[in-house]
Amino acid sequence: MRENTVKQRMRRGEPVRGVWLALPSVESARLMARTPADWLVVDVEHAPLGAETMTRMVAAIADSGGPAPLVRLANAGVENVKRALDAGAWGVIAPMINTRAEAEAFVAAAKFPPVGQRSFGSAWAGLAFDVDMPDYLRIANEQTIAMVQIENRAALDHLDEIFDVPGLDGVFVGPVDLAISFGLAPDPENPDPRLRRALDEILRVATAAGLPVGIYCSSAEAAAERLQQGFVMVNVATDVAVLSQGVRARFA
């Protein structure tokens, strides 16, 4: 069986670095899975990715024996959670969670009974952990990651309630949408004090609840700074940005 070392390391407060994947490409995912990344997120929320492509990208990452395959969902609906985990994702990130009720519904969809209400039946989910179906049912709740994404000021009044939901494994901050919700420019490293205070509060409440916190970063330099601030899960690159910037640099 393959252990979800990313989940274990985050619990210990150790940094885990990854890459954001928005290109709907199995071939690109295979290449990225051979990098030193600890995890790769297949972004289904904002990328032109359907269920079949997502499933094949997750499989390509899992079969590499390298990074943990994660999926950022289009939304926290049961169908989206089920498709990603049944594909073999080691973890799912649910965007735009603003209330405890939304967090509870997400965890219920992501965890098998008695923790949640997830349906069992995928012949592929266990392959990502090198186990058969019965063993996957036994290990899934412990090995998979269910993270809520905090990215709207509306969530800030409910952090204690959201982070107290049983079965929740972590918090991921979407600083771009969080900045927009304050009427700020869509900059993930916006220096406005309102955003800085919001990030500090999320870190404080999550740490008190024993939850590791990740955050989206625009660059490796920004990721290094976020690690210094107390975040443990950071992306050092996005495939789209690296491709575009790399080609422009060659022309320059």
Q: Which residue has the tokens 């996005």?
A: 238
Rounded distance, CA 252 to CA 9, Å? 40
The yes-or-no answer on residue 46 being catalytic is yes
Which residue of the set 34, 46, 197, 204 is catalytic?
46
The closest alpha carbon to 58, from 72, 71, 46, belongs to: 71
Q: Which long-range contacts (CB under 8 A, 24 or more apart) does 22-28 make?
A: 22/46, 22/47, 22/49, 22/238, 22/239, 22/240, 23/47, 23/239, 23/240, 23/243, 24/48, 24/49, 24/50, 24/53, 24/57, 25/53, 25/57, 26/53, 26/56, 26/57, 26/60, 28/239
Angle of the 51-63 helix axis to the 78-87 helix axis, nearest 10? 30
Q: Is 52 exposed, middle or buried (0-12, 13-18, 19+ CB in 10 A)?
A: exposed
Q: Is 167 exposed, middle or buried (0-12, 13-18, 19+ CB in 10 A)?
A: middle
Q: Which long-range contacts (CB under 8 A, 24 or more apart) does 206-211 make?
A: 206/159, 206/163, 206/171, 209/160, 209/163, 209/164, 211/163, 211/168, 211/169, 211/170, 211/171
Give me the active site residues, please.
46
